[in-house]
Structure 1
Amino acid sequence: DITVFPAKKIAAGACSGNGILFDISDPLNPQRIDVVADAGFAYWHSATFNNDGTKVIFTDEWGGGSRPRCRAFDPLDWGADAIYDIVDGKLVFKSYYKMAAPQLEQENCVAHNGSIVPVPGRDIFVQAWYQGGLSVIDFTDSAHPTEIAYFDRGPIDAEDLVLGGFWSTYWYGGKIYGTEIVRGLDVLSLVPSDHLSRNEIAAAALADAGGVFNPQQQFPVAWPADPVVARAYVDQLQRTGGLPEVRIAELSTALDRAAAELEAGAGDADLASQLDSLAAFVAGGQADSDQSGRLAALGGTLRGIAEGLR
């Protein structure tokens, strides 16, 4: 399969025997700019960019999806995802990811089709694993991807392998749609946990990922200047220690007030000035590379909310 990211003029192809990065500046004459191979990959099947087109997840459909490939003794780098950063037009390998929950001999299981869950400030992917169910993966740190949610029905038959499970899992309009080969369409909602907050889930539902959803065509994701989007960034910074608790409390109080004022259709020049001051503080704070993007995005969102209050 091939996925295009027109805004960055690139495409990624999972081409059975390798993964390819294309320059599509001239759509009628695409140019291959990098290629990667992996001795552990049996069948490069799909490619998905992250929110801003700086990373690619390639999947390996080892066994074609018809065999049990997620057993306790199966290698964790076979039938898995390979995650690459895109650096100066080159694919730089960072890690593998494979669902860690062992599956049974009666469950065909391997990496298959998925899509991005557009949580601001994070790179999150929901992926089908046939009868392994679905896995929601955080690959913000592309060298250390982690599972943050899952759904698994168990085997279709307790004694015999019956081909089935999730062919694909796609995020759309705040829901996850899982196409189950035997048991029909599942429509799922994420629920808050230690790994994903209520605000992050709500902010994802507000994302603008380009209008019509097409998993083979991705666009830069944008979020409105809404208090729930700012709260999502605040939740992330609190979870990772990116801001002191006193500043977290100040931001939370100001955002609660802003949400109430905006819902009422009212303005508040003093609150707008406070949000501008908070935006200047967070955008100018010292942080490592993992936090600096969130701080900058939070600052921009706070300024947008302030503008709406004037």
Structure 2
Amino acid sequence: MTTPRTSTRAARLRAATLAVAVAAALVPAAAAAALTQPDPRAGLAPGTQQDEDGAAFTDPLRDAETAAEGMELLAERSKPAYVGAAGAFNYSNINSDIAFQGDYAFSGNYRGFGVYDVSDPGDPVLRTTVNCPGGQGDVSVHGDLLFMSVESGAGRVDCSTSPTSAVFRGVRVFDISDPLAPVQVAGVQTCRGSHTHTLVTQPGVEDRVWVYNSGTAGVRAATQLAGCRPSSTTDPLTSAYSIDVIEVPLADPAAARVVGSPRVMASATSVAGLNPGGTQPTLPADDPRASAPGNAAGGQRVSATAACHDITAYPAIGLAAGACQGDGLLLDISDAANPRRVTNVTDPNFAYWHSATFNDAGTKVVFTDEWGGGGAARCQPGDPTNWGANAIFDIVRAADGTPSLQWRSYYKIPGVQAENEVCVAHNGNLVPVPGRDVMVQAWYEGGTSVFDFTDSANPEEIGFFDRGPYHPTVFHQGGYWSTYWYNGAVFGNEIFLGLDTWGLTGTAALSEDEIAAAAAARVPVLNAQSQEPVVHEPSFTLVRATSDQAVRAGALSARDEAGVARFVDRAEGLAARDARAASATLRAKAGQLKGVGQEALAEELRRLADEL
């Protein structure tokens, strides 16, 4: 393995950030962002491997220069070797999405999936590889089952590459009761295959789950799969404009079947989809999106809405967010077997609605735009900062509870990437920082970014990791498909290089106590497209994190902060031998916090006192 060259500019900036933090304590995030100018991601040295003539190459090295702030690279692992797979830069052999359960990460690939032991994020170990070609390879897990998307016509029912085996396009089901020896136990064929899928549970229902399947490929012939009907704007039975709802009995997964195909993308007045596609209008000057930071005020060429690319479900609030080519949807999933559209939005700066993430409170949605289909978008100087970006929407409810989506802002990483790097918003999830809305997200060759959208109208980047191009001049689509937070670390599937892991590091914009409090909110399983509420148990770390936030917001002076720290340290010292005294100490301090912006800290002090 070649050691990456770490940017000396990034190192100097990290040192400067630390010095400022020591001298000025915690400063506002906007001021912290100013510390990163000039951006250390600009002009990163590319990788060096090439053939003897200096032409295009087939196997990438990890020796491109890197830059990071607020993120520490912990480990790099090469992409698993799949039987019969072509070289690293062959597009039938790329890493895709990741799911997590217990000590394991299940890393999807167009050729199958790898199973890593990630009990130590600093030393992930590939334990086994499942060879099962078919394209996309998105994975999710539930109990003893793993689900895998197959879209390509190269998929076969027996996971082989034999042309004589029956074609499989849809959702595979594996038994992972032994995670190191997965066994395929079922497969549900669908008319458009499976580009992505979403695991959906229903509160109170324990014996089954549902899978919302999104197929974006052409419709299969009825001779290959009965009931499939070609895409059409006039045929009410067309296989377009719908998703597949697959019901999976947990006691008998082989009985999984499609139980419905709700036409959630069809318009109210015709068979065809909501957005017909084409070039979108230029925004009028009085539209708030026209004056948003950036140099694109509409005019994007958008895909017609005929399929959902990705759906994120949040069963606890009864909603799912669908990123559906030309539209963003909200779905009512209170009856998991029968999702229905409740509202939709378009955006003149979006080309292809790709994925969605709710905030924990369920009051916001971050939608991503895969401008250029993931193969052409850029983040270069002068490129539109509102194209290939995130759009942040608030969920606003009417008096009768009906939700709507209201645009608040765009977020895109700085335009400093090289001309031979593809860069666009892609998959990410929440970092469970208490009291804040923070997300980590992949940007293909733009690396990974950590940003705060607590103020949905003013998102701010608070951390990043980036690697220079694979090659000095040759363009290859690649970079990070997914970067996800899971139980205290960040994991990234690099399309061609493999699995990377990071730890978040304290900065003025995100303190060590906030990171520790996020790490304490552990979960037994993570499917990024199946959100569950974050639970923060009362703790001394949580109190200190909340104190950091009050300081950053200007609600606690340095003197007040020191006073809080003394009381908390005293209570922690007492807790093991005299819980009653520790509790009284915390309550006493809580009673003194009556200023504006101190409410959350007082509440955490009382919660911890109750717990003791």
- TM value normalised by structure 1: 0.91
Q: Residue 305 of structure 1 aligns with which residue?
A: 608
C-alpha contact 1:9 1:23 (8 A) present in aligned 2: yes
Q: Residue 271 of structure 1 aligns with which residue?
A: 582
1:120-159 maps to which residues of 2 (within 5 A)?
120-159=434-473
Query: Which residue identity lines up with residue 162 of structure 1 in the other structure?
Result: H
Mapped partners of 1:67, 1:259: distance in 2: 54
Mapped partners of 2:377, 2:353: distance in 1: 18
Mapped partners of 1:101, 1:255: distance in 2: 43
Displacement of 1:281: 4.2
Task: Establish whether residue 237 from structure 1 lines up as the match of residue 546 from structure 2.
Answer: no
Mapped partners of 2:595, 2:565: distance in 1: 21
Q: Residue 404 of structure 2 aligns with which residue?
A: 90
Displacement of 1:164: 1.2
Query: Relative to 1, partners in 2 of residues 1:116 and 1:63: Cα closer, same or farther, differing over 3 Å?
Result: same
Displacement of 1:296: 4.3
Residue among 484, 509, 513 paired with 1:195: 509
- Give the secondary-structure state (helix, strand or coil) at the position aligned to 2:482: strand
Task: Establish whether residue 222 from structure 1 lines up as the match of residue 535 from structure 2.
Answer: yes
C-alpha contact 2:352 2:371 (8 A) present in aligned 1: yes
Mapped partners of 1:162, 1:258: distance in 2: 56
Query: Relative to 1, partners in 2 of residues 1:151 and 1:307: Cα closer, same or farther, differing over 3 Å?
Result: same
- Give the secondary-structure state (helix, strand or coil) at the position aligned to 1:176: strand
Q: Residue 239 of structure 2 aligns with which residue?
A: none
* Range moving further from structure 2, 148-157 or 245-254: 245-254
**Large movers: runs of 4+ above 4 Å:** none
Mapped partners of 1:11, 1:68: distance in 2: 27
C-alpha contact 1:17 1:37 (8 A) present in aligned 2: yes
Query: Which residue identity lines up with residue 108 of structure 1 in the other structure?
Result: V
Q: How many aligned residue pairs are there? A: 298
Query: Relative to 1, partners in 2 of residues 1:277 and 1:259: Cα closer, same or farther, differing over 3 Å?
Result: closer
Task: Establish whether residue 250 from structure 1 lines up as the match of residue 554 from structure 2.
Answer: no
Mapped partners of 1:236, 1:140: distance in 2: 12
Displacement of 1:76: 0.4
Mapped partners of 2:527, 2:599: distance in 1: 29
Greater relative contact order, per chain length (Cα 8 Å cut-off, separation 6+): 2
Query: Relative to 1, partners in 2 of residues 1:68 and 1:25: Cα closer, same or farther, differing over 3 Å?
Result: closer
- Give the secondary-structure state (helix, strand or coil) at the position aligned to 1:57: strand
CA deviations on 1:37-78 (whole Å, 9 max, x unpaired) are 011101000000112211100000001111241111210000
- Give the secondary-structure state (helix, strand or coil) at the position aligned to 2:355: strand
Query: Relative to 1, partners in 2 of residues 1:161 and 1:90: Cα closer, same or farther, differing over 3 Å?
Result: same
Structure 2 residues without counterparts, runs of 5 or longer? 1-309, 398-402
Task: Establish whether residue 186 from structure 1 lines up as the match of residue 495 from structure 2.
Answer: no
Query: Which residue identity lines up with residue 20 of structure 1 in the other structure?
Result: L
CA deviations on 1:122-159 (whole Å, 9 max, x unpaired) are 10011101011001000011100010000001111111
Displacement of 1:175: 0.5
Decide which structure has greater helix share.
1
Query: Which residue identity lines up with residue 419 of structure 2 in the other structure?
Result: E
Residue among 524, 541, 547 paired with 1:211: 524
- Give the secondary-structure state (helix, strand or coil) at the position aligned to 2:603: helix
Displacement of 1:308: 4.1
- Give the secondary-structure state (helix, strand or coil) at the position aligned to 2:524: coil
Query: Which residue identity lines up with residue 304 of structure 1 in the other structure?
Result: R
C-alpha contact 1:68 1:106 (8 A) present in aligned 2: no
Mapped partners of 2:333, 2:532: distance in 1: 14
Structure 1 residues without counterparts, runs of 5 or longer? none
Q: Of the two, which has the highest radius of gyration?
A: 2
C-alpha contact 2:450 2:464 (8 A) present in aligned 1: yes
Q: Residue 21 of structure 1 aligns with which residue?
A: 330
Query: Which residue identity lines up with residue 99 of structure 1 in the other structure?
Result: I
Mapped partners of 1:154, 1:241: distance in 2: 38
Identity %: 50
Mapped partners of 2:573, 2:379: distance in 1: 48
CA deviations on 1:202-236 (whole Å, 9 max, x unpaired) are 0000114x531110111121111111111111001
- TM value normalised by structure 2: 0.47
Mapped partners of 2:326, 2:573: distance in 1: 55
Residue among 406, 410, 416 paired with 1:102: 416
| Cα RMSD (Å) | 1.6
Mapped partners of 1:73, 1:231: distance in 2: 42
